Structure 1
Amino acid sequence: MTQQDQKPSRSFAGIAGIVAAATLISKIFGLVRQQAIAAAFGVGAAATAYSYAYVIPGFLLILLGGVNGPLHSAIVSVLAKRRREEAAPLVETVTTLVAGLLLVVTVAQIFFADTIIDLVGHGLEATTRAIAIQQLRIMAPMALFAGLIGIGFGTLNAANQYWLLSISPLLSSITVIIGIAFMTMQVGKDIIKPEYALIGGMVLAWGTLAGAILQWLVQLIVQWRLGLGTLRLRFDFKSPGVQEVIRIMTPATISSGMMPINFATVLYFASPIPGAAAGFNYANLLVQTPLGIISNIILLPLLPIFAKLAEPENWDDLKIRIRQGLLLSAVTMLPLGALMVVLSVPIVQVIYERGAFKQDATQLVSELLIVYGIGMFAYLGRDVLVRVFYALGDGQTPFRISTFNIFLNAALDWILVGPFGAPGLVLATVGVNCSSLLMLLWLLDRKLNGLPWREWSVPILGLTAGSVVAGVASYGTLVGTQQLLGKTGLVVLLLQLCISGFVGIAVFAAIASWMKIPEVNIFTSRLRQRFLKK
């Protein structure tokens, strides 16, 4: 909506704070959900089947129903240019179009569920395969609700509603937790027995679907109250606003769709490895929880700045801001990744090891977490550079790199799964992210008539060395506390984790402060202002 239709807009820092707080709450519930799944099902048939059945529904929920997804971005960009009274007809028409297309996708998933599971999980054991097929048929309607959620996100964002956007995903976590809790009350400790795998799988599937429906309903109620569209069917598909949404949404959807193709490739190679698919979910959540929060804090304030500096006469300032984004990514992700590498076992033990999640599962997930930790900076640095290309009006370059990476990822999976097993598949993903980062930097160097490579690389290499030293100090502290306190007991593990993590962060902070990097000083200054303001 145009400015006269809105309340005064919040500052970028204020928006980032709201999103970060809501995202933190949502991520915490997501972590609790994974803890509940781990305790109830470990890496058994129910959890493994769920990992395969969730590939397409989860992909659509993230792609179409996620914040910053193509539907969300398209709706925001179009509604921002129009008056409030134009919003409801446009939203209702887009909803009619998207819902019609996604109903076809829903029906296709139901009828071809067995074929889909066989494609992404060619080596699944018979029981696990049967559970996955039923789970996929139950969760198939999530394709429809993903589209509706994405439209709702964009509509509410255009109306300056940020809190609900970031916190509503926790509803899916809550419904799954409630389902597992109810099953546990009915079955008790027998929940870990193989004969209850089918029931557990159905609980996971129905709980996930219920969460998506609830998330959409909450958004819909707010939309109705704001007068931003109802469930009325409209077929004015040729209107300028709808055509603009389609033009923005289509290429963004194709580009974003590369990510789940890569993940499906990983699952294909992982299917013969017992428990690997469930292990990926557990380890990935441990990485995505801090990564999602920090990426919002860094990217949200920088995105509009990149866009304002896109003209050639502003490229010197743009390069300064790109350096800022990369160095802030380095100063947060490098030490965090180092701690995840050296503290992977106690992290997994504290968060997951209870109930059906035993020592063998801890070993698998901790090995995966080590490799994920190595690649955290490349993941966030790549996202910073992709946003720069979008700000420059170049969506084709990230798309071409994503296309190339599909083949690179498959080749690396094939090469690395043999000698390294499941961790080799994560290592392939890290390799793809590093490749993307380097290709984007090289192409950006050509696009912006040169980059100050030395000014960028020297501090990043210094921070990398500092994170290695911090990791060694943290690991030494862990070994020392284990000799004093032992290696068993939740309280003991939690204490060791806190002490070792604090030592690692303190060592890295001292090294980063000694390096006197301006971006680090600005970052720490903002943290002090945020937390010591009162």
Structure 2
Amino acid sequence: MSTPTPPKKKSIANIAGIVAIATLVSKVFGLGRQVVLASVFGVGTAYGAFQYASIIPSFFLILLGGINGPFHSAMVSVLSKRDRKDAAPIMESVSTLIGLILCVVAIGVFIFAPQLISVVAPGLATKAPEVREIAIQQLRIMSPVAWFAGMIGIGFGALNAADSYWLPSVSPLLSSVTIVGSVGALALMYGKDLLKPEFATLGGVVLAGAFLTGTILQWMAQMIAQRQQGLGSLKFRFEPKQEAIQDVMKVMGPALFASGMLQINVYTDMFFTSFLPKPEQAVSALDYANLLAQTPLGILSNMILIPFLPVFSRLTDPENWDELRSRVRQGVLITAVAMLPLGAVMLALSQPIVRLVYERGVFNPEASALVASVLAAYAFGMFVYLSRDILVRVFYALGDGNTPFRISIVNIFFNALFDYILVERFGVPGIVLATVGVNIVSMLALVYFLDKRLDGVGWQGWFLPIVGLAGASFAGGSVSWWVSQQIAAQLAVENFFSFAVQLAIAGSSGLLVFLIIAMQLRIPEVKLFLDRIIGRFKKA
């Protein structure tokens, strides 16, 4: 009897293409959702309360259910080294063990919602008590998200290990569609009454209910895909002593705490915003700006991180460390090629970007100015954000979640310190600048320890290329800003068309300048990145 031929593994380029297209679809829907929310709620009470209430549910979705999160990373790391036939029992055992724990967590969130909001945003009690009451109600509605988030993260990891990338990347659009439908129906029903104070409570309930419903739909879609792939079902299987389960926990436990420490930094940020004069506006501005930064960042992040994680995992033996070092350099420099020019252009064009995307309905020019200042701060730190994630994934592949965890613990102190210093000086943008500072400290520490772990990681060979790409990006950003100012002066109007023209011409000009300079640097990763982009366009 002949042995069946195992399915052919997708190449890094193919995986990156699948993930990029799927993530693009999801991110476009996510951006559309945010535009609807901005036009209906602006930076008002209902949406501000939702930002505080959703910190904990979003914490679970990002920490447990997110692609590249600890659950996802642990499942990919373990299942990619085992036969496909072993996946279902491992999946069911892990889901049972984690699911029991998360049931208890969800019940606790519901019962102790008032206390949790007081911990997350203590300033609301005096600065905005009406925001606090709505946030408590919203948190109770969203408490079941804890369980669904864990199941989503475990399933995403299993699907990626089975070479299935489309659904995990595109499924978040179900949440976006649900929220848009619910909020859109609410807007049609109430029309001009949306700005009345009594609308805040109803709007808050609709937002929280749509968030929970979208999460449930995302999980249901994933369960169908898991069954089709033979990756198990929702079946009770309690085998905590199984070797594979223990392997998952060895990676998942430290990774969970390490990623959790990063999310604690989000809590620290919210803590400081709750003491600002108008906390609902501050926290809403952070969210709107974050979405604009995360749309391109998420697409490029998944293109870079997801294909490299299985590669890192297969190169962990000492005899493969030369190739591992090469792949680490490749990941960091591809990140620089993608994120440095993008960040520079977004910083230069933050004002027209925000006005083009959000300024309609109740979202006025004052709100645009606030959000644009925050977006500029996000753009400044895009490269270090993604580079840090590349290095963290190398440690996960090596089976070492403790080093990122220890670094994350130290960074909690730095984040609080930077928040305290920068918020007083810069206001809301200071929150983001503090996070950028933490990411820089984290990246330097990860490089130091990885250099020791691999007997040299070759970071000296990264330095000059990164400096060169940063200089090219600065030139591109400067050109974008100058061209934008000239166009604005010539058009002398402020509307959707004028903002679109500014972005199209000024953005293209800046990126073209970057490309011309970067090509002269003769960095191999520049050509590699461009070849992949051009190849995708040709196939399209």
Tell me the TM-score range normalised by the shorter chain. over 0.9
- Aligned residue for 1:153, secondary structure, equals helix
Find the counterpart in structure 1 of residue 178 from structure 2.
175
Query: Higher mean Cα deviation, 402-411 or 64-73?
Result: 64-73
Instruction: Tell me: CA distance 1:494–1:199, structure 2 relative to 1, closer, same or farther (3 Å).
Output: same
- Which whole-Å CA distance do the structure 2 matches of 1:312 and 1:151 have between them? 29
8 Å CA contact 2:46, 2:203 repeated in 1: yes
Pick one of 478, 493, 498 that aligns with 2:499.
Answer: 493
Find the counterpart in structure 1 of residue 329 from structure 2.
323
Deviations 1:13-65 (A, max 9, x none): 21221111111111111111111111111111111111111111111111111
Find the counterpart in structure 2 of residue 476 from structure 1.
482
- Which whole-Å CA distance do the structure 2 matches of 1:92 and 1:306 have between them? 26
8 Å CA contact 2:99, 2:151 repeated in 1: yes
1:202 aligned onto 2:215: no
Find the counterpart in structure 1 of residue 63 from structure 2.
63
1:145 aligned onto 2:151: no
- Aligned residue for 1:441, secondary structure, equals helix
8 Å CA contact 1:6, 1:159 repeated in 2: no
Tell me which amino acid in the other structure corresponds to 1:54.
S
8 Å CA contact 1:16, 1:296 repeated in 2: yes
- Which whole-Å CA distance do the structure 1 matches of 2:161 and 2:446 have between them? 30
Find the counterpart in structure 1 of residue 465 from structure 2.
459
Matches of residues 118-197 of structure 1 in structure 2 within 5 Å? 118-124=118-124, 125-197=128-200
Instruction: Tell me: CA distance 1:454–1:142, structure 2 relative to 1, closer, same or farther (3 Å).
Output: closer
Deviation at 1:211, TM superposition (A): 0.4
- Which whole-Å CA distance do the structure 2 matches of 1:281 and 1:234 have between them? 39
Matches of residues 12-411 of structure 1 in structure 2 within 5 Å? 12-80=12-80, 86-124=86-124, 125-273=128-276, 274=278, 275-411=281-417
Tell me which amino acid in the other structure corresponds to 2:54.
Y
Query: Higher mean Cα deviation, 452-461 or 333-342?
Result: 452-461
List runs of 5+ in structure 1 lacking aligned partners: none
- Which whole-Å CA distance do the structure 2 matches of 1:495 and 1:357 have between them? 21
Deviation at 1:296, TM superposition (A): 2.0
- Which whole-Å CA distance do the structure 1 matches of 2:492 and 2:56 have between them? 44
Deviations 1:279-306 (A, max 9, x none): 1111111111111111222233333443
8 Å CA contact 2:31, 2:291 repeated in 1: yes
8 Å CA contact 1:466, 1:511 repeated in 2: yes
Q: TM-score, normalised by structure 2?
A: 0.93
1:436 aligned onto 2:439: no
8 Å CA contact 1:121, 1:267 repeated in 2: yes
- Which whole-Å CA distance do the structure 2 matches of 1:133 and 1:453 have between them? 47
8 Å CA contact 1:110, 1:137 repeated in 2: yes
- Aligned residue for 2:198, secondary structure, equals helix
- Which whole-Å CA distance do the structure 2 matches of 1:478 and 1:231 have between them? 54
Deviation at 1:225, TM superposition (A): 4.1
Find the counterpart in structure 2 of residue 9 from structure 1.
9
- Aligned residue for 2:415, secondary structure, equals helix
- Which whole-Å CA distance do the structure 2 matches of 1:474 and 1:6 have between them? 50
Instruction: Tell me: CA distance 1:227–1:325, structure 2 relative to 1, closer, same or farther (3 Å).
Output: closer
Deviation at 1:202, TM superposition (A): 0.8
Instruction: Tell me: CA distance 1:416–1:338, structure 2 relative to 1, closer, same or farther (3 Å).
Output: same
Tell me which amino acid in the other structure corresponds to 1:219.
Q
Give the RMSD, CA atoms, in angstroms: 2.1
Query: Higher mean Cα deviation, 379-388 or 253-262?
Result: 379-388
8 Å CA contact 2:92, 2:235 repeated in 1: yes
- Aligned residue for 1:106, secondary structure, equals helix
Query: Higher mean Cα deviation, 398-407 or 62-71?
Result: 62-71
- Which whole-Å CA distance do the structure 2 matches of 1:434 and 1:143 have between them? 30
- Which whole-Å CA distance do the structure 2 matches of 1:179 and 1:317 have between them? 50
- Which whole-Å CA distance do the structure 1 matches of 2:14 and 2:96 have between them? 34
- Aligned residue for 2:233, secondary structure, equals coil
Instruction: Tell me: CA distance 1:113–1:480, structure 2 relative to 1, closer, same or farther (3 Å).
Output: same
Deviation at 1:83, TM superposition (A): 5.2
Tell me which amino acid in the other structure corresponds to 2:223.
L
Instruction: Tell me: CA distance 1:108–1:236, structure 2 relative to 1, closer, same or farther (3 Å).
Output: same
Instruction: Tell me: CA distance 1:6–1:146, structure 2 relative to 1, closer, same or farther (3 Å).
Output: farther
Deviations 1:78-102 (A, max 9, x none): 4445555544444333322222211
Instruction: Tell me: CA distance 1:30–1:508, structure 2 relative to 1, closer, same or farther (3 Å).
Output: same
8 Å CA contact 1:5, 1:84 repeated in 2: no
Deviation at 1:451, TM superposition (A): 5.3
Find the counterpart in structure 1 of residue 418 from structure 2.
412
- Which whole-Å CA distance do the structure 1 matches of 2:391 and 2:241 have between them? 35
8 Å CA contact 1:319, 1:451 repeated in 2: yes
Deviations 1:101-140 (A, max 9, x none): 1111111111110111111111121111011000000000
8 Å CA contact 2:312, 2:397 repeated in 1: yes
Instruction: Tell me: CA distance 1:421–1:401, structure 2 relative to 1, closer, same or farther (3 Å).
Output: same
List runs of 5+ in structure 2 lacking aligned partners: none
Tell me which amino acid in the other structure corresponds to 2:23.
T
Instruction: Tell me: CA distance 1:94–1:298, structure 2 relative to 1, closer, same or farther (3 Å).
Output: closer
Instruction: Tell me: CA distance 1:156–1:5, structure 2 relative to 1, closer, same or farther (3 Å).
Output: farther
Instruction: Tell me: CA distance 1:217–1:305, structure 2 relative to 1, closer, same or farther (3 Å).
Output: closer
Deviations 1:470-522 (A, max 9, x none): 11111111111111102411011111111110111111111112222222122
Identity %: 52
Q: TM-score, normalised by structure 1?
A: 0.94
Tell me which amino acid in the other structure corresponds to 2:425.
P
- Which whole-Å CA distance do the structure 2 matches of 1:239 and 1:5 have between them? 28
- Aligned residue for 2:203, secondary structure, equals helix
